[in-house]
Amino acid sequence: DVVMTQSPLSLPVSLGQPASISCRSSQSLVHRSGNTYLNWFQQRPGQSPRRLIYMVSNRDSGVPDRFSGSGSGTDFTLKISRVEAEDVGVYYCMQGTHWPKTFGQGTKVEIK
Partner 1 sequence: EVQLVESGGDLVKPGGSLTLSCAASGFTFNNAWMNWVRQAPGKGLEWVGRIKSKSDGGTTDYVAPVKGRFTISRDDSKSTLFLQMNNLKTEDTAVYYCLPDGGNPWGQGTLVTVSS
**Residue from 39, 56, 78, 89 in contact with partner 1 (CB under 8 A):** 39
- Supply the minimum distance, in Å, between the C-beta of residue 87 and partner 1: 18
* # residues near partner 1 by CB under 8 A: 19
How far is the C-alpha of 20 from the C-alpha of 27, rounded, in Å? 22
Query: Residue 24, interface with partner 1 (CB under 8 A)?
Result: no
Residue 103 CA from chain centroid, whole number: 10
Are 50 and 61 within 8 A, CB to CB? no
Among 51, 59, 66, 98, binds partner 1 (CB under 8 A): 51
- Residue 96 touching partner 1 (CB under 8 A): yes
57, 68, 81, 105: which one binds partner 1 (CB under 8 A): 105
**Minimum distance from CB of 17 to partner 1 (Å)?**
25
Complete DSSP assignment for 27-65: S--B-TTS-B-EEEEEE-TTS--EEEEETTTEEPTT--T
Is the peptide bond preceding residue 18 cis, with omega within 30 degrees of 0? Answer: no
Q: Is 50 an interacting residue with respect to partner 1 (CB under 8 A)? A: yes
> Which residues are bridge partners to 30 per DSSP?
36
Name the site residues for partner 1 (rule: CB under 8 A).
39, 41, 48-51, 54, 60, 92, 94, 96, 99-106
